[in-house]
Structures are given as structure tokens and as C-alpha cells.
């Protein structure tokens, strides 16, 4: 496939990109996290499916091994032990160092001009006034370097945010618990249990704990079983009773939406998010009791390692303060969990992060406690919370309310060089046309100019469509935007209109 230059790309798109600068291409590419040549990044236009697939494969091949949270393909060995696995598109966010390098000039030196407010309005108003966006719509665009609002449409009015709530959850968790925080799952044994070891599997709230053979960097229930069995054998224990402790969390397990393929019952102990299939993200059938299932799997793993169990089904049991730790495993860092949550709009991780925020701020680890903790933490950061209501960490609860002003303020704070702990909020945002919930969007000619240049968190509920993220305009200025709509009747058309609005920012040299 011949390399597409910026000029050839512009002609193919039918869009005038006279101001498509090196900063937008290299900055956009690094913010996107794809280590491509300028010409390749410029080729992010309206491709046929074969070309789009080829570019994705190339991006994945170049990026593989250099990202923060790309995971790894399932290993497949031939008869000689050679790895024959095919490369896959990065599963989550790109490398933070690339983003930092790309953002240095646009946000730090002020060398790129700030868009003219009237020119922005001229570009955005026709799109945001579209009837496809329902009865209510609000919007804000801010200069990420200064936080100054450049465009507003009811920006201070709080509407249902859907999954853009996860941006607030991410900021609260990273500032309350810290980006390097890890969640621990433990196996303990009660004292005085030499003949029959009274073992308790203690959940710490890790939503990424896995029982799969390839842990892909996650905490492994198999590793925990290995270490637990070894520790018990050193003690001379060959038979155990097994219980599981989920007391870290309180309140109801079920999200207010009830049983749903988008989220498992929220427990301090679960394996593979309670998924009953081989999926790692997206909707899936879920266990009705993920803690019991995880403990049952752990019991099987211990039996496979030569231990006998009194019963086949573990029971709920709270570990005492006198219990001695046998083994433990830890989750990836909170920064990695934030990236995964945002890229894949992972509701299970979102609710876990809300509870980690609650635990870090001495609130109950429940739906209500997590919501209160998020609000309190953002208030400490002096963010514009007027009208904001938090009902959960994921945005599945329609009772939540956020404003476009708050969402753009969160994004601008994450871009602030003085708040490097928040950088995963930017690196975790899906990339238009490449990753996560934006992977299959930005395919039409009208919204394709944003492909590879828009990073944004999507939000979708029945009658609600939202989009909030960042974009580098053609002059190299980093902008944060938020669009919220309610009363939409055609979600696909509404999504396309919001995508076009973000693309208008990418194509804008609005001066």
C-alpha cells in the first residue's frame, strides 16, 4: 500500500487541511499512541474496510510492546515451541510517555494559537443544533492549556452523563488512592487449625482478578492457589475447609439497573468480572454470585495441587484479625485500571474504582458510599460541581447528573503538567477509529477527519448520547470538549452527529 501524504489524504477526504501541521500529526499520533510516520497518521481518512484493517494491523504491530496496557495475544505454540500467535490491535490505552511528549509544546509554551471563539461557534453550531440530538443538548470546549472556555451551549447545565461519568470516577480514584495503588487478594489461615486448615479467600475488590491460564498481567487466581498450596504443605496441612470473605464491600450487590449483561453483581471478590464466556470486555452473560464462583474455582485449583477440601462448595466466612496470611496477589496499578476502564467503558472496573475511592476517604464501600466519595474528592480539587449528582461510578444509573463544564474541567486538569498523576485519564480515552468504544466509529466521510486525532469517552443510554474528550486542532492546540444530549430517538445518528462535532474541532484552524 503506497504511503499517503497529508496532501493526498486531504484530497481523498475532500476536506481542506491547509493548516494540518506537524504538531497536529505528531501530537495527534502520540496522543493517539500510535507510533506511525506523519504520512501514515495523515492517512486516517475515510478508508475502505481493507485499508482500514491494514492500517489498524500496522498500528498494532508498531505499538505492540510499547504501550501501557496493551495486554498480549493468546499464546499459540507450534510443535517446536515457537510462538505462532497473530498480532492483535492494542486492547487498551497507549503509552503515557508518548502522550506527555506530544502535549509538551501545545499546552506548555503557548506557541500554537488559541481558536477564535466566534469561529468555533460557526463550526459547531450547525452540528449541535441538529434535531438528531434530541430535546436537550449542552456543550463546552476549553483550551486545555489555560482552562478557558472557548465555546459553550448550556455548559453549566447538568444532564445525564451516561458513561462519561467514568472520567469523574477516574480523577477521583487517582487522586484519592493514587496511580500506583494496587488491589490485593489474599488467602489466610486461621490459627489453631493444624489438622484441618481453616483457609479464607479474602477479596480486596480487584475486578481484574483472573482464573484463566494466561493472566495477561492481571492478578492470577492460579498463582494464588500455587502459593497457598505451597504454604499449607510447609505447615504440614493436607486438608482444609475453605471460606470466602467479601466483607470489604457493603450495601447491595446488584446495580440499581438489576441483573444486566453490562455489569456483574458488585462484590469484593470476583474472577474475570463474573463473565460466563471467554470475553474480556463488552456485554456478556454474568454470574449471579461471582464471589461464590471465584471461591469454587479456587477450591478446584487447590484440589488440583494436592489438597483435600472438606466440602466441594466454599461458604461465606469473615477472616478474623488473628488469621495469618498464606499468599497474596496484586492487581495492576490503578493507573492501568483507569486506562482499561475508559478505553473499554468497563462498568465492573468503574464500580470497583468508586469503592476504592470510598475506602481511601473513609466512606462505606457501597454504591452510595462510592458516589459520595467521588463528589467529595472532586470538591477537594475545586472543580465546578454545580448541579452535579453522582449515583454510581459507571454512569449506568440514570439519576446521575454532570455538566459539560465539569467534564471539560476534569480533562483540562488531567492535561495539566502539575497533575501527572491524572495522565491516565487522557491516555485511557478511546482513539477515534482505532481503540475501545470508538474503534468502529468515525467511518463515514463526514466524521472521518477526526480519525486518529480525537480521543473521547463515549456515553450511551436509551435516549442519552454523550461524548467528552480531547483533540489537537490543525494549529496544534489541545482542546478539551464535552457534548451531552438527552431525548435522542436514533442513537446511531446522534452518535454520528457528535462524532462530526469532534471532527470539526480536529479540522478547525479557527482563527
Known catalytic residues are 163, 166, 345
With contact defined as beta carbons under 8 Å apart, do 224 and 216 qualify? no
Beta carbons of 323 and 200 less than 8 angstroms apart: yes
Nearest to 350 by CA among 401, 259, 427, 281: 281
Instruction: Compute the distance between CA of residue 159 and CA of residue 139 in angstroms, rounded to an integer.
Output: 11
- Give the separation between CA 83 and CA 181, rounded to whole angstroms: 33
Give the angle subtended at the CA of 490 by the CAs of 484 and 496, to the nearest 5°: 60
Residue 195: helix, strand or coil by DSSP? coil
Question: CA distances (Å), 374 to each of 1, 154, 247, 311, 368, in order?
Answer: 48, 24, 21, 41, 10
Give the length of the chain. 511
C-alpha torsion sign, points 375, 379, 381, 382: positive
Q: Which of 434, 428, 439 is nearest to 468 (CA)?
A: 428
The helix or strand, by DSSP H or E, that contains position 112, with its residue range, turns out to be none
- Residue 49 main-chain phi, psi, to 5 deg: -60, -35
Exposure letters 372-406 (e unless 16+ CB within 10 A, then b):
bbbbbbbeeeebbbeebebbbbbbbbbebbbbbbb
Q: What is the C-alpha separation between 424 and 34, in angstroms, rounded?
A: 16
Tell me, what DSSP letter sits at residue 129? T
- CA dihedral for 85, 88, 94, 97, sign (positive or negative): positive
Rg over CA atoms, the chain: 24
For 422, the 3-state DSSP assignment is helix
- Rounded to 5 degrees, φ, ψ at 328 are -155, 155
Distance CA 300, CA 309 (A): 9
Count Cα atoms within 13 angstroms, Cβ side, for 35: 15
Rounded Cα–Cα distance for residues 395 and 242 (Å)? 36
Distance of alpha carbon 292 from the chain centroid: 27
- Cell numbers at residue 343, please? 478505553
Give ∠ CA 209-226-235 in degrees, rounded to 5.
125
Amino acid at each position: 500500500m503506497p504511503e499517503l501524504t497529508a496532501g493526498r489524504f486531504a484530497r481523498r477526504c475532500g476536506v481542506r487541511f491547509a493548516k494540518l501541521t506537524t504538531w497536529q500529526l505528531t501530537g495527534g499520533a502520540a496522543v493517539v499512541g500510535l507510533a506511525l510516520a506523519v504520512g501514515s497518521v495523515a492517512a486516517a481518512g475515510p478508508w475502505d474496510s481493507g485499508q482500514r484493517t491494514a492500517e489498524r494491523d500496522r498500528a498494532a504491530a508498531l505499538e505492540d510492546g510499547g504501550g501501557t496496557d496493551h495486554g498480549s495475544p493468546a499464546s499459540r505454540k507450534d510443535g517446536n515451541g515457537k510462538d505462532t500467535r497473530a498480532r492483535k490491535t492494542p486492547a487498551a490505552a497507549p503509552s503515557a510517555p508518548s502522550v506527555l511528549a506530544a502535549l509538551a509544546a501545545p499546552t506548555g509554551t503557548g506557541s500554537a494559537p488559541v481558536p477564535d471563539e466566534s469561529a468555533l461557534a460557526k463550526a459547531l453550531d450547525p452540528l449541535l443544533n441538529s434535531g438528531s440530538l434530541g430535546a436537550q443538548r449542552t456543550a463546552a470546549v476549553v483550551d486545555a492549556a489555560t482552562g478557558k472556555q472557548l465555546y459553550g451551549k448550556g455548559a453549566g447545565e447538568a444532564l445525564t452523563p451516561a458513561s462519561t461519568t467514568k472520567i469523574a470516577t477516574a480523577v477521583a480514584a487517582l487522586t484519592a488512592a493514587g496511580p500506583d495503588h494496587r488491589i490485593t487478594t489474599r488467602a489466610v489461615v486461621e490459627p489453631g487449625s493444624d489438622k484441618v486448615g481453616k483457609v479464607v479467600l479474602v477479596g480486596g475488590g480487584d475486578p481484574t482478578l483472573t482464573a484463566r491460564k494466561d493472566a495477561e498481567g492481571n492478578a492470577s487466581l492460579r498463582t494464588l492457589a500455587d502459593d497457598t498450596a505451597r504454604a499449607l504443605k510447609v505447615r504440614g496441612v493436607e486438608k482444609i475447609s475453605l471460606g470466602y470473605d467479601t466483607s470489604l464491600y457493603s450495601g447491595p450487590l446488584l446495580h440499581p439497573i438489576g441483573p444486566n449483561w453490562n455489569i456483574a453483581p458488585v462484590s469484593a471478590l470476583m474472577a474475570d468480572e463474573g463473565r460466563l464466556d471467554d470475553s474480556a470486555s463488552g456485554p456478556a452473560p454474568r454470574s449471579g454470585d461471582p464471589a461464590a464462583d471465584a471461591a469454587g474455582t479456587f477450591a478446584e485449583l487447590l484440589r488440583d495441587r494436592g489438597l483435600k477440601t472438606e466440602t466441594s462448595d466454599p461458604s461465606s466466612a469473615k477472616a478474623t484479625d488473628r488469621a495469618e496470611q498464606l499468599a497474596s496477589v496484586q492487581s495492576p496499578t490503578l493507573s492501568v485500571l483507569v486506562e482499561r476502564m475508559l478505553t473499554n467503558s468497563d462498568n465492573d472496573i468503574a464500580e470497583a474504582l468508586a469503592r476504592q475511592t470510598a475506602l481511601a476517604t473513609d466512606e462505606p464501600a457501597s454504591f452510595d458510599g462510592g458516589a459520595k466519595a467521588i463528589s467529595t474528592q472532586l470538591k477537594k480539587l475545586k472543580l465546578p460541581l454545580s448541579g452535579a449528582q453522582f449515583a454510581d461510578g459507571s454512569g449506568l444509573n440514570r439519576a446521575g447528573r454532570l455538566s459539560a463544564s465539569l467534564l471539560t474541567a476534569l480533562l483540562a486538569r488531567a492535561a495539566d503538567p502539575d497533575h501527572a498523576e491524572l495522565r491516565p485519564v487522557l491516555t485511557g480515552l478511546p482513539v477515534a477509529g482505532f481503540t475501545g468504544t470508538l474503534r468502529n466509529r468515525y467511518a463515514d466521510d463526514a466524521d472521518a477527519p477526526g480519525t486518529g486525532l480525537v480521543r473521547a469517552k463515549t456515553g450511551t443510554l436509551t435516549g442519552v448520547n454523550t461524548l467528552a474528550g480531547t483533540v489537537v486542532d490543525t494549529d496544534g492546540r489541545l482542546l478539551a470538549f464535552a457534548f451531552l444530549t438527552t431525548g435522542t430517538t436514533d442513537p446511531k445518528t446522534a452518535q454520528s452527529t457528535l462524532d462530526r462535532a469532534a471532527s470539526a474541532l480536529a479540522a478547525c484552524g479557527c482563527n
